[in-house]
Structures are given as C-alpha cells and as structure tokens.
Amino acid sequence: MTTPRSVTLPGDITLAWMEAFNAGSVSGITGLYDPQAVLWGTTATDLIDTPAGLIAYFERVLALQPAPSVKLGPNRLRVLDDMALVSGHYELQLGHQRLPARYSMALKRSAGRWLIVDHHSSLLPAS
C-alpha cells in the first residue's frame, strides 16, 4: 500500500487521489479525506459521512476485478484562502467499460496540508 502523497498545494489533491486509487491503496486514498468528510461516490447508493464508511466504500470498489482505474481530464481549481474547490472530468475504467465521469471536491487547508471535506462523483449522462 502507498502512503498518501503530501498535499501542500490544493492542485496536488487530484493527482494524489488518482495515484492512490490506481495503486489500489485504501489507506492512501482515505488519508486524503478530512475525518468529517462527505462523499457521494460514483457507485455509492448512499451518502458516506464517516471514516469507516469511506474505508468500506473504497475497500469494495478497489477490490473489483479487473482492478478499476481512473484517468484525469481537465479540471478547474478555485482557491479561497484556506478553502478550495476543484471540479473536473475523469474516465473510470470499471471492468471492461470506460465510463466518462465528473467530480467536484471541496478542500480545506489544515496544518499546512490540503484535505478533501466534500466529494461528489458521478457518471456523465448520455448525450
């Protein structure tokens, strides 16, 4: 398992998230979230709002075979003092399907490190 990348700039969070996801590292990815974070995961049927819930969600998703992966696309970052917002596109490789998706994250700076406090991810609707 990988250790979460040090996220000292808000723009580092998406790269760190992708690296941990693609490495299949539950601890790496959940280490990027604030203990009070909220997640609407791409495949989640319920809002996840506890550290245990985050762990369970990513354990389930990252255990899928073949292993899922993400490829980041363009994003927009807005920094507002000790908060930041990032929204963008990604491609989710889930099984043998490549699924276009989108995400938004709210970040906060805590002790010099950026953490995810709110994360929504969903598949793009068909054109």
Whole-number pLDDT of residue 79: 95
The verdict on residue 2 lying in a domain is: no
Whole-number pLDDT of residue 7: 79
The verdict on residue 5 lying in a domain is: no
The verdict on residue 32 lying in a domain is: yes
User: How would residue 55 be classed by pLDDT, with cut points 50, 70 and 90?
Assistant: very high
The verdict on residue 44 lying in a domain is: yes
The verdict on residue 6 lying in a domain is: no
β-strand pairing of 97-110 with 69-80: unpaired
Q: Tell me the residue range of the domain where 72 lies.
A: 12-123
| Average confidence score pLDDT of the chain | 93
| Mean pLDDT computed over 92-114 | 94
Which are the contacts of 100, defined by CB distance < 8 A and separation ≥ 6?
Answer: 89, 91, 92, 123, 124
The verdict on residue 79 lying in a domain is: yes
CATH code, domain with 50: 3.10.450.50
| Mean pLDDT computed over 13-18 | 95
The verdict on residue 4 lying in a domain is: no
